[in-house]
Amino acid sequence: MDPKTVGLIVFEQMTAVDLTGPAEVFSRAKIQSADGCESPCYRVITLGVGTEPCATECGIIIKPQVAIEGAPLLDTLIVPGGSGIHNARLGKKLVKWLSRRAPVTRRVATFGSGIYALAETGLLHRRDVAAHYRLARDLALRFPSLRVNPNCLFVKDGAFYTSAGAMASIDLSLFLIEEDYGPCIALAVARQLVLYAKRLGHQEQYSDTLQFQIRSLSRLSALTTWIASHLNGDLSVEALAAKACLCRRHFTRRFKMEFGTTPGDFVERLRLEEACRRLSSLDKGVDDVGISVGFKSGDAFRRAFRRRLGVSPHQYRGRVALGLKYIPTLAQARQKFHISSKVA
């Protein structure tokens, strides 16, 4: 099997994680043959405007392997982000080269601010794109023909893939591997890299768990992370109070004061958000999904799901299957799907 060639653009003042993260992901993807030998799925090469070493934003020095003008045929072309993307001299050369190369490359991806260079070519005209929430407004003003999504991790539109960058660059890289070789290979790489989860593109950049952690710097902040990792366990108020080393009454009062909701409400929200993610996969039954996130029965799961989102899990899964990108924050789900709270 010939490995697919992935080209990563390198430039001065780029975001290092947009290069090193995906490079690690693609380099670890391997297929095992019947005789037990492993073959790499990808060959990763770094491409620079020239071949001079480039300093990343964090100070790491990277030397491109090849200049863009001498780049070989590529299966996948990736433009990372970084403040250097706005350098006028770099931008002019890169945009000119991308205009020639992108149409003859199977797929083109951007991470974070890397989207600016690709947008300048006009190839993203009237396409759906993802953008880091801090860049979304500026991007939309500079390129009004783009349909900018500031919430999701990454978006695919035709041969073009755009992402929020940083950790989302790893999520998109895993998605590209899954497109090529299936979920088993992608999950094996995710496990090697000790990732908490292989996130889907339509998940929010700013999760509820992170929001709760930002609100609280006490030991309850760490507890929210523990809850998210133990959704199928005993998350009763008594169990959580014991975990926080507080009495039930004091724990409940303090939790509500810091997070603005009760422990039970918080747990149910996280369970349903994770259920929404798992419902996007069609290989598990609805009841199995509910039980896997900690509901005692399929009936209990369906009742809670309908109460929160206004539709049944089956209806929700059907809408996702039709391509409606959901927002995992439950408060936004009704607006996203135009769901009435009085669905029969």
Mean pLDDT, residues 47-73: 95
pTM of the model: 0.68
The yes-or-no verdict on residue 220 having pLDDT over 80 is: no
Burial of 338 (0-12, 13-18, 19+ CB in 10 A): exposed
| 74-131: pLDDT as tens digits | 999 999 999 999 999 999 999 999 999 999 999 999 999 999 999 999 999 999 999 9
pLDDT at res. 136: 92
pLDDT at res. 213: 54
36: left (phi over 0), alpha (psi -120 to 50) or beta: left
The yes-or-no verdict on residue 153 having pLDDT over 80 is: yes
- Strand-strand pairing, 30-32 and 38-40: antiparallel
How far is 72 from 5, CA to CA, in rounded Å? Answer: 9
Q: Cα–Cα–Cα angle for 261, 164, 214, nearest 5°?
A: 30
Mean pLDDT, residues 229-242: 93
Instruction: Provide the angle, in degrees to the nearest 10, between the axes of the packed helices 263-279 and 298-309.
Output: 100
Q: What percent of the chain has pLDDT over 90?
A: 62
The yes-or-no verdict on residue 293 having pLDDT over 60 is: yes
Indicate the domain borders of the chain: 4-192, 208-337
The yes-or-no verdict on residue 13 having pLDDT over 90 is: yes
The yes-or-no verdict on residue 45 having pLDDT over 60 is: yes
Mean pLDDT, residues 285-299: 93
pLDDT confidence of 176, banded at 50, 70, 90? Answer: very high
pLDDT at res. 241: 92
Of the candidate CATH numbers 1.25.40.20, 1.20.1250.20, 3.10.350.10, 3.40.50.880, the domain formed by 4-192 belongs to 3.40.50.880
The yes-or-no verdict on residue 203 having pLDDT over 70 is: no
pLDDT at res. 327: 39
Taken in order 46, 52, 56, 58, the sign of the CA dihedral is: positive
What is the rounded average pLDDT for all residues in the chain?
86
pLDDT at res. 48: 96
The yes-or-no verdict on residue 34 having pLDDT over 80 is: no
Q: Which CATH superfamily is domain 208-337 in?
A: Homeodomain-like (1.10.10.60)
Full DSSP string of 101-147: HGGGSSEEEEEGGGHHHHHHTTTTTT-EEE--TTTHHHHHHH-TTSE
Closest CA to 203 of 175, 237, 179: 175
R_g over Cα of the chain = 22
Question: For 157, phi and psi rounded to 5 degrees?
Answer: -140, 100
pLDDT confidence of 338, banded at 50, 70, 90? Answer: very low
pLDDT at res. 311: 87
The yes-or-no verdict on residue 23 having pLDDT over 80 is: yes
pLDDT at res. 336: 44
Cα 317 to chain center, whole Å? 20
